Amino acid sequence: MGEQHWNHCLITGGSRGIGFAIARRVARRADKVTLVARDRERLQQAAARLRDETDTEIATVVADLSEFEDVRTVAALLDREAVDVLVCAAGVYTTAPADEANVADWDRMLEINLRAPMHLARAAAASMSQRGTGAIVLLGSVAGRNAFPGNSGYCASKFGLRGFAESLFYDVRDAGIHVCHIAPGMTATDMTRDTPGADPGRMMSPETVAEAVRFAISLPDNANLMNLDLWPQRDVFSG
């Protein structure tokens, strides 16, 4: 454990929030980091910031992970470029009572939060198993184990991701592939900025979540951090 070095880390949702904090945290210890998101300008800004901070090669890929063709493009890149750390941090969140929810919002959450990580992890695992090493980090949520009102679609996507991650680990552990499901509670990012009644001062910082990811992928080869629930210490809603 400690001075781990990675060849190529690919981070979906790496342009901002938790994904960007993870990119910053791992960049100094990687030969190459690839950021994936939709907004080209935000991606370029993020990449420029990382290049200011490190000599690591930084690449960007514009992709909409709700589109299956874009998922396939990123999946192909995982094998072609021998990515040894895949971090799936891209995610979306909408809230509504289940009986009033917009089903298009449900579909988007399932596509981006669950379907895309499943397909990317599958592709990464197939590629990594040939090399006998690698790490797949899936950003879940405490809403993937605890249900909250108004979160039916989000909870469905994140409960699903938790189950997928655990099953994946059992399937690929003997191939030397780490699978880490990191499940944060409220973290101060764009996603939570306008949450009614929530105190941003009580939320975790994206850097804290990034440190947990770094820890998870720095464990010795014979240990795997399977699930990590990371809660804000104080109740974000009772300030």
Residues at the interface with ligand NAP (CB under 6 A): 12-13, 15-19, 37-39, 42, 63-66, 89-93, 112-113, 139, 141, 184, 186-187, 189-192
Residue 36: which of 69, 71, 68 has the closest Cα?
A: 71
Q: How far is the CB of 192 from ligand NAP (least distance, A)?
A: 4
- Give Dmax over CA atoms of the chain in angstroms: 51
Q: How far is the CB of 31 from ligand NAP (least distance, A)?
A: 22
Of 133 and 195, the one with the shorter C-beta distance to ligand NAP is 195
| Catalytic residue, candidates 154, 159, 164, 169 | 154
Of 96 and 191, the one with the shorter C-beta distance to ligand NAP is 191
Q: How far is the CB of 130 from ligand NAP (least distance, A)?
A: 27
For this structure, is 154 an active site residue? yes
Of 108 and 175, the one with the shorter C-beta distance to ligand NAP is 108
Of 90 and 177, the one with the shorter C-beta distance to ligand NAP is 90
Residues catalogued as catalytic: 154
